[in-house]
């Protein structure tokens, strides 16, 4: 039997530090990006992955948090509630994303300051953060506009919120 040597890369984890979860509480954050994620099977739903970065000074500054908004009809209330909390109109609207990057371009959320309500949960034996809600941060500072590099976008989903 002939052995074929496949290319490989050695990975050194010795300098990787584990992150302790943030304490339960409310944190000033900025929505860094919102990414459309297509369901991996017919019995699942597409969703939006909201990436947040902690902006308030302190030990957690620049830490990342994530929130998932599912297009499942049973979970749309969470997305609607968060969007209304941060001042986004939830009438009929299209969610639009860049086909190459999957970054959501409409509604325009990247750069928006928010207050993230963070709790903790245990998953597979490890304590993790969970963003339970997004609230208006009360910050009226103009946000940095996300850059849309002129790439073609596609309407990803249209949901009616009532």
Question: Would you give per-residue pLDDT tens digits along the chain (162 residues)?
Answer: 677 777 888 888 888 877 789 999 999 999 999 999 999 999 999 999 999 999 999 999 999 999 999 999 999 999 999 999 999 988 877 899 999 999 999 999 999 999 999 999 999 999 999 999 999 998 655 444 344 443 334 444 433 333
Strand boundaries in the chain, DSSP class E: 25-37, 47-54, 64-70, 93-98, 104-106, 113-123, 126-136, 153-159
* pTM score: 0.77
Domain range 25-142, its CATH number among 2.50.20, 2.40.50, 2.60.120, 2.20.25 = 2.40.50
Q: Is 21 exposed, middle or buried (0-12, 13-18, 19+ CB in 10 A)?
A: middle
Q: What is d(CA 160, CA 162) in angstroms, rounded to the nearest whole number?
A: 6
For residue 60, give Cα distances in angstroms to 28, 53, 93, 160.
10, 9, 34, 37
Tokens standing for 136? 């208006």
């Amino acid at each position: 039997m002939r052995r074929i040597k496949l290319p490989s890369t050695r990975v050194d984890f010795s300098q990787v530090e584990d992150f302790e979860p943030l304490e339960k509480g409310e944190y000033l954050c900025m929505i860094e990006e919102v990414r459309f994620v297509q369901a991996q099977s017919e019995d699942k739903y597409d969703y939006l992955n909201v990436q947040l970065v902690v902006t308030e000074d302190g030990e957690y500054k620049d830490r990342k948090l994530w929130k998932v908004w599912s297009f499942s009809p049973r979970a749309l209330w969470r997305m609607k509630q968060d969007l209304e909390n941060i001042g986004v109109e939830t009438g009929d609207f299209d969610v639009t994303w860049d086909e190459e990057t999957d970054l959501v371009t409409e509604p325009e959320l990247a750069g928006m300051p928010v207050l993230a309500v963070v709790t903790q949960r245990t998953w597979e034996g490890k304590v993790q953060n969970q963003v339970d809600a997004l609230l208006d941060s009360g910050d009226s500072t103009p946000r940095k506009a996300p850059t849309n590099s002129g790439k073609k976008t596609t309407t990803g989903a249209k949901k009616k919120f009532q």
